[in-house]
Amino acid sequence: GYTGEDGFEVAASPAGILAFWEVLMAKGGRHGLIPCGLGSRDTLRLEAGYLLYGADADETRTPYEANCGWVVKLQKGDFVGREALLRRKEAGFKEKLTGVRLLGRGVPRHGCAVWLGDRKIGELCSATFAPSLNTGIGVGYLATEAWEPGTRVEVEIHGKKVEAETVRGPFRKNSV
């Protein structure tokens, strides 16, 4: 599923979904099944390295900038946007979606600035505290000099800079 975990997607009529939910919770509860909300889902998807459209990727970024260049098959012929993609790729990119893991204490959020020395090099698109990793994590479009995993940076949280390092995603494989 969208969390990086094994799972199911269920589609049902509005009339039948409540009964399904009640049976699922009654039988699953005996095995430790508990419901979770969007916050849990978002933390798990970020740990798994899954992008959220509108936050981590949108129409202003190319698949290459979003680390999704593997989905583009330039050798398979023409498609809408191919020439524009080629031009952008050949020109090079100034920013790329890069993972960041906090080394200090704090909970990063969307919009937190990322610093390399005294220079702001980007900001986080998605970020949270990852309980399974016991630290804050995030992804953001960062300048070229921070792309190498292990680059020491700082994330500004509520006006305070917290030490962090860049990482290659996913943050965690086979979550939970």
User: pLDDT band at residue 70, thresholds of 50, 70 and 90?
Assistant: very high
Alpha-carbon gap, residue 115 to 98, rounded angstroms: 13
- Residue 132 CB contacts under 8 Å (≥ 6 apart), including other chains: 47, 172, 175, 176
Per-residue burial over 89-98, b = 16 or more CB atoms within 10 Å of its CB, e = otherwise: beeeeebbbb
Domain count, the chain: 1
Tell me if 93 is assigned to some domain.
Answer: yes
Tell me if 90 is assigned to some domain.
Answer: yes
**What global pTM score does this model have?**
0.87
For residue 3, CA distances in Å to 9, 57, 67, 71, 72 come to 12, 17, 18, 20, 24
Mean pLDDT of all residues in 161-170: 96
| Single-letter residue type at 95 | E
Tell me if 47 is assigned to some domain.
Answer: no
User: pLDDT band at residue 174, thresholds of 50, 70 and 90?
Assistant: low
Alpha-carbon gap, residue 23 to 12, rounded angstroms: 14
Tell me if 24 is assigned to some domain.
Answer: no
Around Cβ 66, how many Cβ atoms within 10 Å?
19
Tell me if 175 is assigned to some domain.
Answer: no
User: pLDDT band at residue 2, thresholds of 50, 70 and 90?
Assistant: confident
* pLDDT at 145 exceeding the cut of 60: yes
Tell me if 172 is assigned to some domain.
Answer: no
* Model confidence pLDDT, tens digit, residues 7-65: 778 888 998 999 999 999 999 999 999 888 889 999 999 999 999 999 999 999 999 99
Tell me if 89 is assigned to some domain.
Answer: yes
Mean pLDDT of all residues in 66-75: 92
105: domain CATH number?
2.40.30.110
* Model confidence pLDDT, tens digit, residues 85-126: 999 999 999 999 999 999 999 999 999 999 999 999 999 999
Place of tokens 């479009």: 141
| Beta bridge partner(s), residue 21 | none
User: pLDDT band at residue 6, thresholds of 50, 70 and 90?
Assistant: confident
Tell me if 12 is assigned to some domain.
Answer: no
Around Cβ 102, how many Cβ atoms within 10 Å?
23
Tell me what pLDDT residue 1 has. Answer: 62
SS3 97: strand
Q: Which residue range forms the structural domain that includes residue 66?
A: 52-167
* pLDDT at 149 exceeding the cut of 60: yes
| Single-letter residue type at 53 | Y
